Amino acid sequence: MDSLSQIVLGAAVGEVVLGKKAGNKAMLYGAIAGTIPDLDVLARQFTDTTMALDIHRGFTHSVVFSVLFAPLFGWLVSRYERSGDFRGWSWLFFWAFFTHPLLDAHTTWGTQLFWPFDLRLAFQTIFVIDPVYTVPFLVCLILALTRKRINPKRAFYNKLGLWISSSYLALTFVLKGLAFMQFSNTLETQGVNYTDLDTRPAPLNTILWAANVDTEDAYLLGDYSFFDAQPITFNSYAKDHHLIDSIRGNERVERMIRISQGWYTISKQDGKLYFNDLRFGLISLEPQSQDFVFKYEIGEDERGNITFTEVPKDQQDAKAIASALWTRIKGN
């Protein structure tokens, strides 16, 4: 999830663990702890794109990290605050570290919660930014923050925020199931033969859902809003995996395929090859658009190594995209 959501969750967890003893400091350190696992993004500064993607939401989002580093941070804070409550601060950091990947597991990217085992949890029930999750949670946290530590309403508002946000997460599983049935029924009605169906929420909401459908030679991409009145339509994207046959077996190529979990197409534009990760869909809602959220140019450096360079996203059309998204959410 986005940094604000993780800060709010970390602060709320800190309040539950140590709020009565440490007051607002529990929220402060909980908020800090809630952001620490995402420091793995710094790997981009020291390694290539494929390795950085592989590292992201790996070790720092695991149970192992929570167990090993919670006592370290607990000791540092207990020394700095001169509180002597090493155990209390350690528990605060453990639960803030641990709940971070639990929340991230609901997104499309998922987490390697059980690192070093190669098992990525990705429920794909919520987008990385979802105001319905974050805003009520933040309001409740602010209400709790403005009460003294001995005020019963402080704990009430904090727990209310946790209850509302957790209930919404539970609801997203129901919504995903309903959307999945709509896509599945449509494919059956249209007589489409497919081997896999993958669904996820569109940006910023859980009303509009997108689907990737794996067929023999192509992927079908479609979307469905709970307000739709018309049948679901799918756009076909050729896999064109043969375009990289000459570099198959290369470590970086195989890593990108593994990271995408096989949901990728290869496209050729102006003589350049592009690796398109389908798990996150398209930026544009236009039919047959090639503006994938994560699109990488395949190249070669001066030493002959295969490289993947993320194609920058065009920010100029953000307003138009947001408008189109809102229109699509309201139904076809």
Domain extents for the chain? 3-125, 190-332
Residues contacting residue 271 through CB under 8 Å, at least 6 positions apart? none
pLDDT interval class at 222 (50, 70, 90): very high
pLDDT interval class at 34 (50, 70, 90): very high
Residue 109's closest CA among 165, 39, 68, 55?
A: 55
Residue 44 has pLDDT above 90, yes or no: no
Q: What is the pTM of this model?
A: 0.93
pLDDT score for 196: 97
State the average pLDDT over residues 121-126. 96
Q: Omega into 203 within 30° of 0, i.e. cis? A: no
Residue 276's closest CA among 219, 315, 201, 314?
A: 219
pLDDT interval class at 304 (50, 70, 90): confident
State the average pLDDT over residues 192-205. 96
* pLDDT, tens only, 133-152: 999 999 999 999 999 999 99
Residue whose structure tokens are 């096989």: 262
Q: Which amino acid is at 134?
A: T
> CA 291 to CA 274: how far, in whole Å?
11
Residue 183 has pLDDT above 90, yes or no: yes
Q: Yes or no: say if 257 and 246 are a contact pair by the CB < 8 Å rule.
A: no
Residue 33 has pLDDT above 60, yes or no: yes
pLDDT interval class at 220 (50, 70, 90): very high
Residue 320 has pLDDT above 80, yes or no: no
> CA 211 to CA 223: how far, in whole Å?
6
Residue 209 has pLDDT above 90, yes or no: yes
pLDDT interval class at 317 (50, 70, 90): low
Residue 91 has pLDDT above 70, yes or no: yes
Residue 315 has pLDDT above 70, yes or no: no
CA 159-163-164 angle, 5° bins: 120
In the chain, what percentage of residues exceed pLDDT 70? 99
State the average pLDDT over residues 233-241. 96
Q: Whole-number mean pLDDT of the chain?
A: 94
pLDDT score for 84: 81
